[in-house]
Structure 1
Amino acid sequence: MTSRNTNPMAAVQKKRAVSTATRKRGTSSSKSPRAPKKKQEQPGRAMPIWVRNILAVTIVGCFSIAFYYFCIRPYAYRWKPCHGLKEYGVCIPNGYDIHGIDISHYQGKIDWNRLLQNKETASPLHFIFMKATEGGDHNDTTFEANFANARNHGFIRGAYHFYIPSTDALKQADFFIRTVKLTSGDLPPVLDVEVTGRKEKKELQQGIKRWLDRVESHYGVKPILYTSYKFKTRYLDDSIFNTYPYWIAHYYVDSVKYQGKWDFWQHTDVGSVPGIKEDVDLNVFNGSLEELKKLTIR
């Protein structure tokens, strides 16, 4: 009879080995990363290519129109053919022989000796308007020196007041009268009207008329009324304002569109005049030099 050998120590070791292998498999399984779940894409419709193309063309077109309107159109005259004389950096309007400028502190310090040489050009400068006052208490810091220099260098000179509708008209008139001492040979005083100050049209006109009446009574001459073509036709269309010499501001056009009588035309604000560092307004007088002198105070 054959007997089976049963060794207790061998059985224990085998059991331990199986247990250890089982733990390792469990640990390895627990540490292995799980595969990420794929996110389900949300259903949607992509923009068709033709729609994107139309949108892009529309955006570029709108930008081009805005760029032309604000950046090119106001200065398009620079590239227009000049059918007449080009001087001071711009095309000089045809048919006018008497030229002038208007200045204020914006032009800075002026070289008057060099400015005087512009009397010898093909479009000689004969007259200069200078800003004197604004509102009821603001002086232009360069007026006193410019006004004296203009006379000393032989220019026909004039002074203007910038009207502020919200300030009492008579206060503004008296302020101008105290500041500006016009003498024989000077141009009549000028009222510069450019803003409404949110005044009703009738109230605006009444204030302007009070200023004009007070100043005319003091200097004994009708003041010159300065305003743009659009402002004049919209706010100062009353016939009473047609009795005053009119200085029209109308830029970047070949001729004045205003149908009424006018005496001065401010045709550009970007003139380049030797003796003045900054851009300057250029003007023409609608008449001869003799007629300009007749307009001055006597």
Structure 2
Amino acid sequence: MPPRNNPMSAVQKKKTVSTTRKKGTASSSKSPRTPKKVQAKHSHIMPVWLRNILAVMIVGCFSIAFYYFFIRPYAYRWKPCHGLKEYGVCIPAGYDIHGIDISHYQGKIDWPKLRQNKETVTPLHFIFMKATEGGDHGDTTFSANFANARNHGFIRGAYHFYIPSTDALKQADFFIRTVKLDTGDLPPVLDVEVTGRKEKTELQQGIKRWLDRVESHYGVKPILYTSYKFKTRYLDDSIFNAYPYWIAHYYVDSVRYQGKWDFWQHTDVGNVPGIKEDVDLNVFNGTLEDLRKLTIK
């Protein structure tokens, strides 16, 4: 037999509803407490004024760094040119003998058009061409450029890009096999720009071995090409002062190197008719007769 229902009386229901409302009213009237963790988190929020100061300092540091590394080294490009402007750049004052150096980066050259630059206000007299790099990498345009330079009346020269991690004699022999210098050509050039993580003494020994081997073969002292900072830092030994020096120093009014130098590569953004890409421009520190005296006899 199912149990009988025992319904709550009306009085009991009224009391229960009243009690529930009182509890709800009491709990809702109390203000909620902020958890301790939340309070601690808010206590570490950076003040607005301090955040603004840090933002200004970060922007300032970034601006200084950007100017130092990206604007200052090239500021010379935007300086007013008070002298002669040719080939898209301001030509260093006081030098009459000009030239360029080229490699496969310049692409196919229009030699008849390039030859016309021998008749300008700033005539080009000499051209250096990249021949080799390391122990087995030859420049793909060297043979054609080397022959065309002679055929179009330029005083020509060839250079080797030195890789310190490759045996110096292997590099020297590779250059000798590749480059056949003739009477009237400039001495061979060693281009040194990297250390290859070699110790200074070891780097110097390798470079000297290359220079000795090449000098023995061609019968003339090679030209040493590097930046003035690299030379003063890594090739400061007096034995390297015996070689003709070709200094790379861009976007300056004059050479800052205090020693003797023969060639100065003063820019890498020359715009020369006959060459589509930007090209390095150089000056010779002497007369045309002095330049011819430097060539192979």
Q: Deviations over 1:86-144 (max 9, x none)?
A: 11221111100111111111111112122122222221111110000011101011111
Q: Secondary structure at the match of 2:277?
A: coil
Equivalent residue, structure 1, for 2:296: 297
User: 1:219: which partner in 2?
Assistant: 218
Q: After superposition, what is the alpha-carbon deviation per residue over 1:60-82, rounded to whole angstroms, capped at 9, x for unaligned?
A: 10111122122211211111121
Q: Deviations over 1:150-204 (max 9, x none)?
A: 1111111100001111111111111000000111111110011111122222222
Q: Which residue of 1 aligns with 2:3?
A: none
For the aligned residues, what is the CA RMSD? 2.5
Aligned-partner SS, 1:183: coil
Matches within 5 A, 1:41-60: 41-43=38-40, 44=43, 46-60=45-59
Paired residue for 2:154? 155
Structure 1 moving runs of 4+ over 6 Å: 15-19
The residue aligned with 2:282 is 283
Aligned ranges 1:1-298 → 2 under 5 Å: 40=34, 41-43=38-40, 44=43, 46-298=45-297
Gaps in structure 1 of 5+ consecutive residues: 1-14
Q: Quote the Cα distance in structure 2 between the aligned partners of 1:295 and 1:116.
A: 22
What is the TM-score with the length of structure 1 in the denominator? 0.86
Give the length in aligned residue pairs.
Answer: 280
* Larger Rg over CA atoms: 1
TM-score (norm 2): 0.86
Query: How far is 1:251 from its partner?
Result: 1.4
2:89 counterpart letter in structure 1? V
The 3 A distance-change label for structure 1 pair 172 and 47 is same
1:46–1:202: structure 2 CA closer, same or farther, 3 Å change rule?
A: closer
Distance in 1, matches of 2:49 and 2:150, equals 69
Q: Which range is displaced more, 154-163 or 201-210?
A: 201-210
Equivalent AA in structure 1 for residue 276 of structure 2? K
Unaligned 5+ runs, structure 2: 1-6
Query: What is the alpha-carbon distance in structure 2 between the residues aligned to residue 16 and residue 217 of structure 1?
Result: 122
Matched letter for residue 121 of structure 1: T
